[in-house]
Structure 1
Amino acid sequence: MELRVRGERAVLKGRGTAHAREIDPHSLAIGVELSDALHEWARVAAAVRRAQDNGEPGQAAAVVSRRGQQLAVQVADAMGTLVYYVDPVTDETLVVSPPPRQEPEPTLARRLFGTAEFGDEPTPWGTGLVVAGFVAAVVITAMLALTVALAAEVSGWLVVVAALVVTGGMAPSLWLARRLPIVRWIALGATAGIALSWFGVLAVAF
């Protein structure tokens, strides 16, 4: 994409095509504010160019060139493409790349359910172990309550089978959650609770 001044208007056109149509910035999805700024800059650049042609000192030429480069960076950012900025004062062409995109701050939902591990953050061992311990206590209580209730109605082997079904059903989810921030502490507690509850399950079943 090429940015240049035509008359007193800023225009953009595709590069690499000899007969590419010049486009008014207002017809592109770069925002009204940026489009107005481009045209305002073009009017000033045209006035500076006329002053230079009439032999008047061109102290404002450097300011116009610098402002045009700033606007070219904004256009490159808005469109996500290279912009060939044609300086209206010197007629030199400068290639402007879009600035690097900054990753947005992770939301709470992404922290809880996202797929990326945030390895640059400190590990909250204190809070995480407290959460894991609480979850482990809840899981142990639930498993033993289930085991005791089943032991009163069925044989010990069926109690073991039921515990195996519960353990197998939870295992895939716990494995997938092992690297997720925050959720991994819940997975750790649940895994520890299931492992420890098996001592009680075997004791009740047999």
Structure 2
Amino acid sequence: MNPAATARHEWQLQVRDGRPVLAQPGAVELDIAAVGLSADLVDALHEWAEVCGSLSADGAAQRGEAVSRRGRRLAARMAAETGAEIVYRDPVRGHPIRLGGGARTAEPVPWGSGLLVSGIIAALVAVTLVVMTLGLAEVSPVLSVLVNLAVAAGLAPSVWIGRRTPVWRWVAFGTGAGICAAWCALLLGLLG
């Protein structure tokens, strides 16, 4: 369950029994591992929680300040990864600090160059598929259909993974558009 997927609830990052948890006031408590954060952030949160547990035993002031700063940075990373508002409850001072809450903000989307890349990739994929399919259709129409489907099925996982990667999404969109354009051209070729 992703905190960003829920309605605008307030999530608090806390340490309970030596482990980091996300808690909603008076209701739900989630283990950090179940939230869908990156593995290195989950590991860092667990290390931080262990240090917080040992802090209450020795109570060194300088170490307490370092734990507070580290916790604020980890909560900020969590807010950035989830896009949700995280309330960091400082284990040393006990007061809450609100972090994040907006949608993820990244650099602006390069629409012009991105669409140009998508168009070039779409044209290359469409021409390649049409030429390959027409060449194989002379040998065996069934073979050409099977190979065309195999190529599309082989590209599908890469396109699906690449659709959210900032630079590669344009290549993924172009590949998907090229496959669709090739199929439309081949279907129109059968009709005419």
TM-score, normalisation: structure 1: 0.44
Q: Rg bigger for which structure?
A: 1
